[in-house]
Amino acid sequence: MIRQNLTFVVLMCALPAMAGNTNLGAVYQLARENDAEYAAARESFKAGQEKVPQGKAGLLPTVNLGANARQNESRSNGVSSDYDSRSISLTLTQPIYRKQNLETYAQAKIQALISEQQLQLAEQKLLLTVAQAYFAVLQAQDVLTTAQSQKSAFAEQLAQARKSFEVGASTITDTHEAQARYDLTVAQEIAAMNDLEVTRRSLEKIINSESPELARLAEGVRMTLPEPNNMDAWVKQAEEDSLSVSLNQSTLELARRDVERLRAGHLPTLDLTANYSDSRNPSSSINSSRSGSIGLEFGWLLYQGGLIGSRVREAVAIQEKTRFDLDNARRQARLDARQGFLGVLSGDAQVKALEQALVSSEAQLKSTKLGLEVGVRTRVDVLNAQQQLFTTKRDLAAARYQTLVAGFQLKAAAGRLTEDDLKAVDALLK
């Protein structure tokens, strides 16, 4: 009885979440909680933050404690002696000047920054991936709906063509044309069903659960143009603020620091050392002693077979490689910004053109049906008009989805894509 009541409570709590269709923001939250790639990036970020205390450790004191207990036996001139001995030692080393350790600490802070930037890049990638997967499902649904609507309309035309042929009002050509259109649409419906299944499975991979029913764009949604409506401004911002560019800048600085760290292998080192030791012989005070020392230790590695020079040359080559990577990231950011900006503008223009084409297609279908009734149009003309209308509706919905995705890609290129952008699109869904 308790289990039944608990199950009832759980179901009642789940009803509000299950009611209605799931919007883009809700799908993104599911992805943040369940996407394996993003989860891996989070753990990588946590690991990267540990680089700072690891690097700082090279600047802090090192304390070593040692102890031993031995059984000793000695023979000298026929005289043997056996005794136990115990000792303990404590050593402290404080680096005063170690250039390599300073550069290692600086590198550690950069590595922590890189792990943070990689997490931001993963989050931005997840935002884009969710949006693309979301609208891919909606577009696949539209394609299937179009195919099913066409099949229904062509089936009706096929039935009418057969009836007209039976009574001698039309030729067998109309029947064959209608049959061909119907058979082709059946094949298109099968392909559309397969595409829809694939896109749903792609979304399920991200959210790690069954694909929910998705909220759709409201009718007559108007596309918004980029703000500012200036390509050069977006390109400049992408070149400066793109997450990929920032990540490559940090990587270049890390490589530069690595060159300095390796070059420091030729520099002298200076440490403060302190030592205390206590050795005891429980059976005799002769072999017992205590000692302590404190002072400076100077070291200078003068030659190591050319190893340091080789490592420096290797690090310099890697530094130049990261410099070219940064240049490539800037070029890619500029290209992505231009493509995103043009995608929004062309998409908006395409949406407006297809909206007008939809009005024209609806008027054409009405006039073609009327022409068929009065004998100036054929059934083939009606089939063509119907197909054009369905295709226009499908293309209009696809253009709206692609324009929204292009807007996300533009903001991602400029490093400005956030969860708020998804929430803004949710206002356009029903």
Indicate if the pLDDT at residue 397 is higher than 70. yes
pLDDT tens-digit map of 105-117: 999 999 999 999 9
Q: Which residue has the higher pLDDT, 112 or 6?
A: 112
- Measured CA to CA, the distance from residue 11 to residue 5 in angstroms comes to 10
- Give the burial class of 104: count Cβ atoms within 10 A of its Cβ; 0-12 exposed, 13-18 middle, 19 or more buried: buried
Asked if residue 280 belongs to a domain, the reply is: no
Q: Band of the pLDDT at 13, cuts 50, 70, 90?
A: very low
- Measured CA to CA, the distance from residue 266 to residue 57 in angstroms comes to 22
Q: Which CATH number is 63's domain given?
A: 1.20.1600.10
Q: Band of the pLDDT at 14, cuts 50, 70, 90?
A: very low
Cα dihedral sign, 115-116-117-122 = positive
Q: Band of the pLDDT at 287, cuts 50, 70, 90?
A: low
Asked if residue 3 belongs to a domain, the reply is: no
Q: Determine how many CB atoms are found less than 10 A away from the CB of residue 75.
A: 9
Asked if residue 353 belongs to a domain, the reply is: yes
- In the chain, the percentage of residues whose pLDDT exceeds 90 is 71
3 state DSSP class of 103: helix
Question: What are the residues facing 76 on neighbouring strands?
Answer: 79
Asked if residue 236 belongs to a domain, the reply is: yes
Cα dihedral sign, 122-126-132-136 = positive
- Measured CA to CA, the distance from residue 387 to residue 185 in angstroms comes to 10
Cα dihedral sign, 10-13-18-23 = negative
Q: Determine how many CB atoms are found less than 10 A away from the CB of residue 140.
A: 19
Domain that residue 258 falls in = 21-69+98-267+306-426
| Beta carbons within 8 Å of 327's beta carbon, 6+ residues apart | none
Q: Which residue type, as a one-letter code, is found at position 136?
A: A
Q: Which residue type, as a one-letter code, is found at position 88?
A: I
pLDDT tens-digit map of 36-62: 999 999 999 999 999 999 999 999 999
Pairing of strands 79-97, 269-280: antiparallel
Asked if residue 148 belongs to a domain, the reply is: yes
Q: What is the DSSP string of 183-228?
A: HHHHHHHHHHHHHHHHHHHHHHHHHTSPPPPBP-BPTTPPPPPPSS
Per-residue pLDDT, averaged over 168-190, amounts to: 86
Q: What is the pLDDT of residue 8?
A: 32
3 state DSSP class of 406: helix
Asked if residue 315 belongs to a domain, the reply is: yes
- Measured CA to CA, the distance from residue 387 to residue 389 in angstroms comes to 5
Phi and psi dihedrals of 331, rounded to 5?
Answer: -60, -45
Q: Band of the pLDDT at 284, cuts 50, 70, 90?
A: low
Sheet of 79-97: strands edge to edge? 62-76, 79-97, 269-280, 289-299
CA angle 418–423–424, rounded 5-degree value: 95
- Count of the separate structural domains present in the chain: 1
- Give the burial class of 261: count Cβ atoms within 10 A of its Cβ; 0-12 exposed, 13-18 middle, 19 or more buried: buried
Q: Which of 59-63, 103-107, 314-318, 373-377 has the lowest mean pLDDT?
A: 373-377
Q: Which of 10-19, 69-78, 206-215, 371-380 has the lowest mean pLDDT?
A: 10-19
pLDDT tens-digit map of 69-106: 888 777 777 777 777 788 999 999 999 999 999 999 99
Asked if residue 215 belongs to a domain, the reply is: yes
pLDDT tens-digit map of 249-278: 999 999 999 999 999 999 999 999 999 999
Asked if residue 77 belongs to a domain, the reply is: no
Taken as a whole, the chain contains a residue count of: 430
Q: What is the pLDDT of residue 20?
A: 54
